[in-house]
Amino acid sequence: MNIFAYGTLMYPELLAQLTKKEWQMTPATLHGYRRCILLKEGFGSSPIIVPDKNASVTGKILY
């Protein structure tokens, strides 16, 4: 399974600690989306992506 990561999961040390697994990573760009920050009172902030035909998000493919 391949996963597109665009936030904290792009950091190999954190990803390995969370999943107990080593991942290969390749730089990637997801076209047609933009990255935003979701703010939720009591929960802090989280990066999210939303459709936007004029934007793109850089990240990494995890496999």
Task: Supply the pLDDT for residue 8.
Answer: 87
Q: Is 40 exposed, middle or buried (0-12, 13-18, 19+ CB in 10 A)?
A: exposed
Give this prediction's pTM. 0.78
Rg (CA), the chain: 13
Count of C-beta atoms within a 10 Å radius of residue 25: 17
pLDDT, position 41: 84
pLDDT band at 1 (very low <50, low <70, confident <90, very high): confident
The number of folded domains in the chain is: 1
For the domain that residue 27 is a member of, what is the CATH number?
A: 3.10.490.10
For 38, the domain range is 3-62
What is the tens place of the pLDDT at every residue in 12-60?
999 999 999 989 999 999 999 999 999 988 888 888 999 999 999 999 9
